[in-house]
Amino acid sequence: MSTPEELIAGAEKVSKKPSGLFSFLGSSHQSRLEEAADLYVQAANLYKLQKKNAQAGQTFEKAAKAQKDAESPEEASNTLVEAYKAYKVEVPIEAARCLEEAIDMFVRRGQFRRSANFKADLGELYENELGEIQKAIDSYETASEWYKGDNASSLANKFSIKAADLYCDDSVQNYTKAATIYEAVAKDSLNNNLAKWSLKDYFLKAILCRLADNNDYASGNALLQRFLQWDPSFKTTREYEFAAKLVDSVRDGNPDGIAQASMEFDKFSRLDGFKIRVLNKIKSTVNEAPADLEEDFT
């Protein structure tokens, strides 16, 4: 069996464009590029077997370039996805670069559902491997738009929620934007029996974000009333009781009330890391509201 290095050497040799008399003999340059691409792919797969993932990624990229030069963009985009998968193990920043390029090629061919799937993967790569939160948000929001355009509303909402959660990250803290997204997804889910069970969580998150946004208890209370109009059963939930206590505590400038309400809620429904982080933000910035503040509950 040939080694990866031998296969790469063979690919480089066969891909060289013949000149002079020899250009009229044998196979065309396009077929030679296709042959070279096949050799590069074989070499890349051998590197994967050897767990040399960075070398595999580099070699898949060489194969993709040969395929592009051979005017085979569909094969090239698929090979770039293989490069992404190989790089992801060891060099996530290179994985992101390859996947971005592959997505661009899918979009140009109108493959929006496939593009959405990989854009979501890209968001997870930026979020979990590279810690680039804004790029993760951008990827999730784009994936959501493409899913929506393909009538995949549940997937569109899933990645809108992922973006909203990241808008509350300490490095971003755009609570107004997050609240708007939670509210929009909740409204979209009102008549969806499969998603309806998540409504109370979307409602709570939206209210938490309004309260985290400079202790805006008036907007938080406005949402509380709006959500009751949308879904009267919300009033029977622990999420409603918790949200109402938080609104009152922020209005009264009472951080101890926030802590007490949080502990009571946590006994019955464990607070996750997201809610704890936002609650700490609310509690640490709570202040007495002006007595003449006008509340807009429209």
Distance CA 241, CA 204 (A): 10
Q: Provide the pLDDT for residue 172.
A: 96
Structure tokens at 43: 């070499």
Residues 6 or more apart from 46 whose CB is under 8 A from it?
A: 3, 4, 7
pLDDT tens over the chain, length 298 residues: 789 898 899 899 888 866 554 454 445 878 888 999 999 999 999 999 999 999 999 999 999 999 999 999 999 999 999 999 999 999 999 999 999 999 999 999 999 999 999 999 999 999 999 999 999 999 999 999 999 999 999 999 999 999 999 999 999 999 999 999 999 999 999 988 888 889 999 999 999 999 999 889 999 999 999 999 999 999 999 999 999 999 999 999 999 999 999 999 999 999 999 999 999 999 998 875 555 544 443 3
**Helix/strand/coil for 149:** helix
Q: Provide the pLDDT for residue 17.
A: 66
Q: In terms of DSSP H, where are the helices of the chain?
A: 4-15, 29-49, 53-69, 73-90, 92-108, 112-124, 133-149, 153-167, 175-189, 199-212, 217-230, 238-251, 255-268, 273-285
Distance CA 103, CA 78 (A): 10
Q: What is the DSSP letter of 72?
A: -
Domain locations along the chain: 180-298
Q: Provide the pLDDT for residue 298.
A: 34
Q: Provide the pLDDT for residue 24.
A: 44
- Architecture, CATH, for domain 180-298: Alpha Horseshoe (1.25)
Decide: 298 and 222 in contact? Cβ < 8 Å: yes
Question: Around 19, how many Cα atoms within 13 Å sit in the side-chain half-sphere?
Answer: 1
Distance CA 294, CA 31 (A): 74
